[in-house]
Structure 1
Amino acid sequence: MSDLADYYRQRATEYDAVYEKPERQEDLTRLRDLLPPLVAGRSVLEIAAGTGYWTTALSSSARSVVATDLNDETLAIARTRSYGPGEVRFEVADAYDLGAIPGRFDAIFAGFFWSHVPRADVRRFAAGVLDRVERGGVVILADNSYVEGSNHPITRSTPDGDTYQTRRLSDGRTFEVLKNFPTVEQFTADVAPAQVSWTDLTYFWLATVSQ
């Protein structure tokens, strides 16, 4: 994951360009409409918050949001945004060590991080997330669906089922980035025996998980 963290650290200033793709605007609006009712009145732990793009939607209805990321470079950008009315604070934290984050949370949100978890680590990561949410709480995940021509092409696959893309930054540097695209069946098996509600959009999917 250190290579992935380095990629997003280097990409911090151009992080949000992906949200400007014209063909994705309708889906993005839909996602931003779907999220607030799911976290209304809740204490939210956000995993891999990046530049805070999704934190703005969460804070519009949540009681509070602790937005975490491994990279302070992306959180530095997140701190410049406007939030509320829910209280928002930022923490540098490892998504694989959620127990180190202080507080009690009845909702956990991970936007566009599940796809970066290696297949070999998925069940361990899912268990760590589900263990961290309070009883009666909900885990919410959103991520990309693969659409030819909109997503970066898959350039490598592994026997474990991981797929990779080659990403290029504006300065010409290239990175190989893990990016998986689970089906609803695969995702449901990965979080079993938790219950899953799944919403398919054109370019994205949204899942809520409860025990």
Structure 2
Amino acid sequence: MSDLGDYYRKRAGEYDAVYEKPERQEDLARLRALLPPLVSGRSVLEVAAGTGYWTKALATTARSVVATDLNDETLAVARTRTYGPAEVRFQTADAYDLGAVEGRFDAIFAGFFWSHVLRADVRRFADGLLNRVEPGGVVILADNRYVEGSNYPITRTAATGDTYQNRQLADGRAFEVLKNFPTREQFTADVAPREVEWTELAYFWLATVC
């Protein structure tokens, strides 16, 4: 995760540019509308919160949000946003070590991070989320679907099935980034025997796991 963390650390200042793509605006609006009812009145642990783009949507209805990220640089951007009415606090935390985050949570949200999990680590990551949510709670995940021309092209597929993209920052620095695009069937198998509800949009998917 160190290479991926380094990429997002250096990308902090231009992190939200991906949300400006014109063709994705309708889907983004739908996601912003779908999320608040799922966390209404709940104590939310947000994993890989980045710059707080999705924290804003969660905070409109949640009781509280603890927004975590590996990078202080992205959380520094998140702290500049206005949230509410939920109580929002930020904490640096590893997505694979959520036991280090204090509190009890009846909702966990991980936005656009599942795609950065190696296939070999998917079960471990999923178990880490499910182990932190209180009985009767919900784990919520959202991520990208692969759409030719809107996503970075897939430049390499490993023997494990993991797929990679080449990305370049505004200053010219280049990175190879893990980016997987699971189908509904694959995701459901990865979290079995848990119950999954799946919403598929043109550019994104949203799943709840109970």
Gapped regions of structure 1 (runs ≥ 5): none
Q: Kindly state the Cα deviation for residue 94 of structure 1 after the two structures are TM-superposed.
A: 0.3
Counterparts of 1:145 and 1:127, CA distance in 2: 23
Counterparts of 2:99 and 2:192, CA distance in 1: 21
Q: How does 1:23-42 map to 2 (within 5 A)?
A: 23-42=23-42
Counterparts of 2:125 and 2:54, CA distance in 1: 21
Which residue of 2 is the match for residue 68 of structure 1?
68
Which residue of 1 is the match for residue 107 of structure 2?
107
Q: Does 1:5 align with 2:5?
A: yes
Residue type at the aligned position of 2:207: A
Q: How does 1:170-185 map to 2 (within 5 A)?
A: 170-185=170-185
Counterparts of 1:161 and 1:86, CA distance in 2: 40
Counterparts of 1:125 and 1:33, CA distance in 2: 26
Q: Does 1:140 align with 2:134?
A: no
Q: Does 1:189 align with 2:189?
A: yes
Counterparts of 2:135 and 2:160, CA distance in 1: 33
Counterparts of 1:160 and 1:134, CA distance in 2: 33
Deviations 1:141-180 (A, max 9, x none): 0000000000000000011110000000000110000000
Which residue of 2 is the match for residue 46 of structure 1?
46
Q: Which runs of 4+ in 1 moved over 4 A?
A: none
Counterparts of 1:41 and 1:97, CA distance in 2: 25
TM-score, normalization by structure 1: 0.99
Residue type at the aligned position of 1:157: T
Paired residues, number: 210
Q: Kindly state the Cα deviation for residue 88 of structure 1 after the two structures are TM-superposed.
A: 0.1
TM-score, normalization by structure 2: 1.00
Q: Kindly state the Cα deviation for residue 202 of structure 1 after the two structures are TM-superposed.
A: 0.2
Which residue of 2 is the match for residue 199 of structure 1?
199
Q: Kindly state the Cα deviation for residue 122 of structure 1 after the two structures are TM-superposed.
A: 0.1
Counterparts of 1:128 and 1:93, CA distance in 2: 13
Counterparts of 2:135 and 2:5, CA distance in 1: 31
Residue type at the aligned position of 2:173: R
Gapped regions of structure 2 (runs ≥ 5): none
Residue type at the aligned position of 2:175: F
Secondary structure at 1:82 match in 2: coil
Counterparts of 2:98 and 2:56, CA distance in 1: 21
Q: Kindly state the Cα deviation for residue 19 of structure 1 after the two structures are TM-superposed.
A: 0.1
Q: Kindly state the Cα deviation for residue 73 of structure 1 after the two structures are TM-superposed.
A: 0.1
Secondary structure at 2:19 match in 1: helix
Which residue of 2 is the match for residue 168 of structure 1?
168
CA RMSD between the two structures: 0.3
Q: How does 1:122-137 map to 2 (within 5 A)?
A: 122-137=122-137
